[in-house]
Chains A and B, each alone.
Chain A
Amino acid sequence: AQTVTQSQPEMSVQEAETVTLSCTYDTSENNYYLFWYKQPPSRQMILVIRQEAYKQQNATENRFSVNFQKAAKSFSLKISDSQLGDTAMYFCAFMRDTGTASKLTFGTGTRLQVTL
């Protein structure tokens, strides 16, 4: 079974600053996908970024980027130029590569507060 650990229950960052959210996972699989989802107060789950384990290049989506360290089983999310709208719960998620889509296993989340 896979486990996902987010060791930072809460974090705070000032607007326009950069913040990094940590995530580690445990798996015996070699092929898998990692995701970050954002859940704002509306409770909607929004996909932020995806990383394929077979890719060495770190994924980037505008102000969001990841630092994927496969050997260390680490997958951190960096948010640059933080905005008030980034205030949300952030979940790290793992998915096995089974050849078809499979379930997501989530971490317990990090609550991020962006302040003025």
Chain B
Amino acid sequence: AAGVIQSPRHLIKEKRETATLKCYPIPRHDTVYWYQQGPGQDPQFLISFYEKMQSDKGSIPDRFSAQQFSDYHSELNMSSLELGDSALYFCASSSTGGRSYEQYFGPGTRLTVT
């Protein structure tokens, strides 16, 4: 079965640079989520989109922005990168049909800021 695709898988940036993470949800899934997992921590919710509209917002810095496009893929844009932004960034998708609401995660993008 198709899974969530994230690119790139690894990214190395310097402080103050910009990064763009991409997410391609499972086909026919209408909701996309972004989570950030720091070293030794649990995933923290950043932002979500339902049918291309922002549906919820968590602890996302103002330096970060995200959107979902007409083909349902989503991008997380991160500017003025800081050392503390180094983390594993997950995208997850789900379908509201059937009310199961199970979220399926992509493999993550490991961002290292030096």
Contact = CB atoms under 8 A, between A and B. Distances in A.
A62 interface: no
A50 interface: yes
Interface in B75-114: 88, 90, 92, 94-96, 100-105, 107-108, 110
Given A101-B50, A104-B45, A107-B42, A45 B31 contact: no
Interface residues of B, number: 29
Given A45-B43, A50-B100, A103 B107 contact: no
A47 interface: yes
Given A101-B31, A101-B50, A103-B45, A47 B103 contact: yes
B56 interface: yes
Contacts, number: 66
Residue among B41, B44, B55, B105 with most chain A CB within 10 A: B105
Does more than half of chain A's interface fall in helix, strand or loop, or is it mixed? Answer: loop
Interface of B: 31, 33, 35, 37, 41-45, 48, 50, 55-56, 58, 88, 90, 92, 94-96, 100-105, 107-108, 110
Given A42-B107, A45-B43, A45-B108, 10 more contacts: A43-B110, A44-B105, A44-B108, A45-B92, A95-B101, A103-B58, A104-B33, A104-B35, A104-B45, A106-B43
